Amino acid sequence: MKISFAELSAPKAGTIVVGVGEDRALTPIAAALDKEAGGALVRAMASSRFAGKKGQLLAVLAPANLTVGGIVLAGLGKLADVDALTLQALGGSLVAHLNGAGESEATVRLGALEGKLSPAEAAANLAFGARLRTYRFDKYRTRMKAEQKPTLKKLAVQSDAATAAKKVFADLDRLADGIFFTRDLVSEPGNILYPESLADQAMTLAELGVEVEALDEKKMKKLGMGALLGVGQGSVRPPRLVVMAWLGADDKKAAPIAFVGKGITFDTGGISLKPGAGMEEMKWDMGGSGTVIGLMKALAGRKAKVNVIGVVALAENMPDGNAIRPGDILTSMSGQTIEVNNTDAEGRLVLADALWYTQDRFKPRLMVNLATLTGAILVALGSEYAGLFSNNDELAERLTAAGRAVGEHLWRMPLNDAFDRAIDSDVADMKNISGDRNAGSSIGGVFLQRFVNGVPWAHLDIAGMAWSKKDAPTVPKGATGYGVRLLERFVADHYED
Ligand code: BES
Ligand code: MN
Ligand code: ZN
């Protein structure tokens, strides 16, 4: 779908979209169109449930005196409250609606809004939401019928600030590139995406000026990464640790901020095998690393003025004659030993070495890791919030605020000494699970905390967020790309020159 920006003018063809506020309050542009259409818009509203509420859409047949194909009224809610998220959601819902109706061309006519947004920001955010909803993962569908394919080819967004809108959109477009890259990676099945091929995907960021380096087993062995290597040893696909560096700050030597991702390209559970039903979902157990890679793409794409390190720990967790066994003891890069009482608690093992390595080599100002770490976070927070665990209140607050601003919500969960004591082991420095199922997500959190060496750190448990079973306005079902928007905002708000 091609997105363009133009000044306000009457379109000759396609569908026209105009905004309506709460209680059917026509925006000036909608009022002018209604007049031209002999009151057809007001009559159509009167005979429907459409009330101009946020998210409501009403399709109206164009009256005979207009050349356009159709008119869509878009509910904006209280006009004074229209914000970026409202317009993103509208853009996304419109794309779904117009594709559902088989339209090929549409023009959104956005006048000046009463809210806090400039006309340029309004137009750009609508376009951003529209693009996010166009995402599809169709590459393996070779027999798609015409009616299964999207029809919308052109979306024009009119405002009285087209040039400025295009400029604002340019950065959002790079952000969408990053989100789409994440969605692509997370969608790929385990036979296509495994540690080496995922590392190859990360390497493509070199085109944008990201320095990318992949550590193989030999290098990891030398560094003593026994925890990460232990998880990977049951697979014929060797593990990798990929380091990405985007040095965009004026001072290339300034301490970076670091993002670390869990990248289990398939999680069978290992010898502590998962039940068969639903196991196919574990192809997206690399969601944390997918987000880190997409985030690096978004930041490098818009040449963010910040030094950022991305580290992803890649392994496939398989049951095998060579796999780690329950009870095995691994020595991590930190020197701390880990009794592996459940091979299905593998994410924390690969992150233990990735976190230690990141702080040891890069001395970052802070680290944020992302991981589809626990089923328990789904029990607690469903698909509304990712779990946030942190040893630093300021960092936790900044992340929460960024999430609220972009509509990717976080809810802080506790780490405390009692949880930490629950993973003390009788035979090693710690064990990778506690004695019971209680507080499973916090147990994962305190385990990771033992590998951050006091650096300001946050762990985002995104097990409930990386994949969605239902369409949302800007997130079609499937891989969501959760976290890219949130962390891009977090960086933009606090860490750029
Ligand atoms: N990848 C899973 C967590 C998961 C579950 C992600 C459901 C997405 C959806 C993780 O490796 C895992 O298996 N965790 C175990 C931990 C337990 C053994 C302590 C879990 O949550 O059951
Ligand atoms: Mn697991
Ligand atoms: Zn896992």
Q: How far is CA 373 from CA 48, 138, 361, 462, in A?
A: 46, 28, 24, 7
Could you read off the pLDDT tens digit of each residue along the chain, which spans 497 residues? 999 999 999 888 899 999 999 999 999 999 999 999 999 999 999 999 999 999 999 999 988 888 888 999 999 999 999 999 999 999 999 999 999 999 999 999 998 788 889 999 999 999 999 999 999 999 999 999 999 999 999 999 999 999 999 999 999 999 999 999 999 999 999 999 999 999 999 999 999 999 999 999 999 999 999 999 999 999 999 999 999 999 999 999 999 999 999 999 999 999 999 999 999 999 999 999 999 999 999 999 999 999 999 999 999 999 999 999 999 999 999 999 999 999 999 999 999 999 999 999 999 999 999 999 999 999 999 999 999 999 999 999 999 999 999 999 999 999 999 999 999 999 999 999 999 999 999 999 999 999 999 999 999 999 999 999 999 999 999 999 999 999 999 999 999 99
Pocket test for ligand 1, best of 324, 369, 374, 448 (most atoms within 8 A of CB): 374
Cα 194 to ligand 3 centroid, rounded to whole Å: 14
Q: Is 427 exposed, middle or buried (0-12, 13-18, 19+ CB in 10 A)?
A: exposed
Taking alpha carbons only, the member of 361, 355, 357 closest to residue 373 is: 355
Looking at residue 11, its pLDDT comes to 87
Helix (H) or strand (E) holding 73: strand 70-77
Looking at residue 395, its pLDDT comes to 99
Active-site choice (237, 283, 302, 348) = 348
Helices (H), 224-261: 226-232
Q: From the CB of residue 206, how many other CB atoms can be counted at a distance below 10 Å?
A: 12
Cα 342 to ligand 2 centroid, rounded to whole Å: 9
Give exposure, 71-88, as e/b (b: 16+ Cβ within 10 Å). Answer: bbbbbbbbbeebbbbbbb
The mean pLDDT value of the chain amounts to 97
Looking at residue 99, its pLDDT comes to 97
Q: From the CB of residue 332, how many other CB atoms can be counted at a distance below 10 Å?
A: 25
SS3 content of the chain, % helix, strand, coil (to 5): 40, 20, 40
- Per-residue pLDDT tens for 383-421? 999 999 999 999 999 999 999 999 999 999 999 999 999
Measured CA to CA, the distance from residue 393 to residue 398 in angstroms comes to 9
Among protein residues, the one with the nearest Cα to ligand 1's atom 22 is 375
Sign of the dihedral defined by the CA atoms of residues 330, 361, 206, 164, in that order: positive
Q: Residue ranges per domain, the chain?
A: 2-160, 175-494
Strands across the sheet containing 386-390: 211-215, 240-247, 307-317, 257-267, 366-371, 457-461, 386-390, 410-412
Among protein residues, the one with the nearest Cα to ligand 1's atom 3 is 374
Of the listed ligands, the closest to the CA of 315 is: 3
Q: Which atom of ligand 1 is nearest to the CA of 272?
A: 18
Q: How far is CA 370 from CA 290, 378, 487, in A?
A: 9, 15, 11
Cα 345 to ligand 2 centroid, rounded to whole Å: 5
Of the listed ligands, the closest to the CA of 342 is: 1
Q: Is 100 helix (H, G, I), strand (E, B) or coil?
A: helix
Q: Which two tokens stand for residue 480?
A: 């969501």
Looking at residue 467, its pLDDT comes to 98
Among protein residues, the one with the nearest Cα to ligand 1's atom 7 is 375
Q: Which atom of ligand 1 is nearest to the CA of 432?
A: 19
Q: Rounded to a whole number, what is the largest CA-CA distance in the chain?
A: 84
Measured CA to CA, the distance from residue 474 to residue 311 in angstroms comes to 27
Measure the N-to-C terminal CA separation of the chain; round to a whole number of Å.
34
Measured CA to CA, the distance from residue 189 to residue 178 in angstroms comes to 19
Cα 341 to ligand 1 centroid, rounded to whole Å: 14
Cα 269 to ligand 2 centroid, rounded to whole Å: 5
**DSSP state at residue 274:** P
Cα 268 to ligand 1 centroid, rounded to whole Å: 10
Taking alpha carbons only, the member of 437, 385, 432, 434 closest to residue 412 is: 385
Q: 175-494: CATH homologous superfamily?
A: Zn peptidases (3.40.630.10)
Taking alpha carbons only, the member of 182, 96, 82 closest to residue 131 is: 96
Measured CA to CA, the distance from residue 346 to residue 269 in angstroms comes to 8
Measured CA to CA, the distance from residue 384 to residue 378 in angstroms comes to 9
Looking at residue 455, its pLDDT comes to 98
Amino acid at residue number 38:
G
Cα 434 to ligand 1 centroid, rounded to whole Å: 14
Q: Which two tokens stand for residue 109?
A: 């006519």
Q: How far is CA 433 from CA 260, 347, 420, in A?
A: 21, 12, 11
Looking at residue 12, its pLDDT comes to 84
Query: For residue 89, which phi and psi values (nearest 5 degrees)?
Result: -65, -40
Of the listed ligands, the closest to the CA of 269 is: 2
Strands across the sheet containing 337-340: 328-331, 337-340, 430-431
Helix (H) or strand (E) holding 169: helix 162-187
Among protein residues, the one with the nearest Cα to ligand 1's atom 16 is 345
For the question of residue 141 being annotated catalytic, the response is no
- Per-residue pLDDT tens for 106-150? 999 998 788 889 999 999 999 999 999 999 999 999 999 999 999
Torsion of CA 300, 303, 305, 311, to 10 degrees: 0
Looking at residue 63, its pLDDT comes to 86
Q: Is 29 exposed, middle or buried (0-12, 13-18, 19+ CB in 10 A)?
A: middle
For the question of residue 252 being annotated catalytic, the response is no
Active-site choice (43, 78, 154, 274) = 274
Q: Which two tokens stand for residue 488?
A: 């891009």
What is the topology classification, in CATH, of domain 2-160? Answer: Leucine Aminopeptidase, subunit E; domain 1 (3.40.220)
Measured CA to CA, the distance from residue 432 to residue 447 in angstroms comes to 7
Question: What pTM was computed for the model?
Answer: 0.98
Pairing mode, strands 2-7 and 154-159:
parallel
Among protein residues, the one with the nearest Cα to ligand 1's atom 18 is 345
Looking at residue 276, its pLDDT comes to 98
Among protein residues, the one with the nearest Cα to ligand 1's atom 5 is 375
Looking at residue 120, its pLDDT comes to 96
Pocket residues: Cβ below 6 A from ligand 1: 267, 285, 342, 344-347, 372, 374-376, 433, 440, 463
Q: Which two tokens stand for residue 383?
A: 């698909």
Pocket test for ligand 1, best of 265, 281, 285 (most atoms within 8 A of CB): 285
